[in-house]
Structure 1
Amino acid sequence: MKKTIYSIMGLTTLLVFNSCSSVKVLDSWKAENVSSINDKNIIVIARTENNQARIAFENEIVNQLTAKGLKATASFTKFPKLNPDEKVSEDKQEQIKNLLINEGFNAVVLTVIKDIKEATRTVTEGGYYAGATLYPRYYRGFYGYYYNPMSYSSFGNYVPETSTTFTSKTFVLESVAYNLAEPEDKQLIAVVTTQIENPSNITKVAQEYVKAITKSLVK
């Protein structure tokens, strides 16, 4: 059961953008007591105001945990009106704590966006000749070429040069897992920092993310 906890870190909070995505694990850490969460009641939280992203990623992680034999619940099913991305006042902190206690949750998997970077890139295509004529059949004899050299071409057709400019977005995310049954200084049991470039389809990105995180933690 020890390995089952490693898959809990596959969670992220993303908005929907076009283009393809690339998931890369930048860093990861796990405590010696990481397996202590295996028998806990886990609440999975995606901190984003985008409700579609929240549902997709929380569901994906819950499915992964359930398949590993852990007990996990997506936060949106228990607390649909909770906005995980809002600023939390002291009163709100106490409300959240009481909600978790009253519902019997003693472990948390949480992900937040730590940084978003934008970059403008230009891709250039064309600017070359294609479909050149094969030698030596085309050139035939010396005299024909000598009399009319400009009528012979080995370049083929010229493909005009075109440029496309687009803006890419890179997200840096931090996924953390806590065992709330432990003393406060021992509650943190795992941290994974991940970079995702240009996330597109939410479900596919979630699956890629879970796969990348699991691969980085399960040795």
Structure 2
Amino acid sequence: MKKITPILCCLMAVMTLQHCSSVKVLDSWKSDSVSDVKNRNFLVVARSSNTQARLAFENEIVKQMTSNGYKATASYAKFGDMNPNEEPSESNKGKIKKLLDAEGFDGVVLTVMKDYQEETRVQREGGYYEGGNYYGYYPRYYGGFYTYYRHPMSMRTLGNYVPETITTTTSKVYILETTIYDLKAKDDNQLVAIVTSQIDNPASASAAASAYVKKVAASLK
């Protein structure tokens, strides 16, 4: 059985699920060398064009990592003008490597939004007669068929009809992926963990970040 490393524990320790309908881990993986990253200097990057979301995710991960003895820095705090969504080109080739080398970062925690969808959901409620009576229990005359069949109350409703209501909502669904890299390892072995998750209809970026980091950590336990 693989040990639970501190980096996974610190991600696991973060936050309760608040104001976010659900976060579900779709897939996860970790390598046998995940425990080797304890002494790495991590840069935490959230690829998002939404500044509020980027700050929320980066700060939440950094907060938990540093509280558990890791050296971690949010990319926004360190490189304010860094654009994590910049398209690769010949002109910026090697740019991120130069930044990491210059500042002594040898580990990266990268979170990326892989997909976004909007779903229309229809919920139907009511449209039936409640059994029993207004007092919340079934009266004695329901107990036997013949007694009930002959009882006057079996011939009509008690009047407690529940009207049908139809509610239509649009739900926002995000697919996020978090990867952990050890830059001291050889290129093919730098990936030490990856988690893909779904966030369903978050109320805010901060609430989503809190719930997401908790789920990511738990999946790597």
TM-score (norm 1): 0.79
- 2:134 and 2:87 map into 1 onto residues whose CA distance is 67
Conserved 8 A contact 2:11-2:65: no
- Matches of residues 137-216 of structure 1 in structure 2 within 5 Å? 154-216=157-219
Question: Partner of 2:166: helix, strand, or coil?
Answer: strand
Conserved 8 A contact 2:10-2:67: no
Matching residue of 1:97: 97
Compute the RMSD of aligned alpha carbons. 2.7
Conserved 8 A contact 1:133-1:153: no
Question: 1:120–1:133: structure 2 CA closer, same or farther, 3 Å change rule?
Answer: closer
Per-residue CA deviations over 1:70-103 (Å, capped at 9, x if unaligned) read: 0000110011122212322232232221111111
**Structure 1 alignment gaps of length 5 or more:** 11-18, 137-148
Matching residue of 2:8: 6
Q: Identity over the aligned pairs, expressed in percent? A: 51
- Out of 60-69 and 201-210, give the one that drifted further: 201-210
AA of the residue aligned to 2:83: N
- 2:74 and 2:61 map into 1 onto residues whose CA distance is 8
> Would you say 1:32 and 2:35 are equivalent positions?
no
AA of the residue aligned to 1:4: P
- Matches of residues 25-174 of structure 1 in structure 2 within 5 Å? 25-129=25-129, 132-133=133-134, 154-174=157-177
**Structure 2 alignment gaps of length 5 or more:** 13-18, 141-151
Q: CA deviation at 1:7?
A: 4.7
- 1:2 and 1:179 map into 2 onto residues whose CA distance is 17
Per-residue CA deviations over 1:98-144 (Å, capped at 9, x if unaligned) read: 111111111100011222233211112232346945658xxxxxxxx
AA of the residue aligned to 1:6: L
TM-score (norm 2): 0.79
Question: Partner of 1:89: helix, strand, or coil?
Answer: coil
Matching residue of 1:142: none
Q: Aligned residues, how many? A: 199
Q: CA deviation at 1:156?
A: 2.5
Per-residue CA deviations over 1:166-198 (Å, capped at 9, x if unaligned) read: 122222221111111111111111111111111
- 2:134 and 2:54 map into 1 onto residues whose CA distance is 57
Q: CA deviation at 1:25?
A: 1.3
- 2:159 and 2:166 map into 1 onto residues whose CA distance is 22
Q: CA deviation at 1:45?
A: 0.3
AA of the residue aligned to 1:204: A
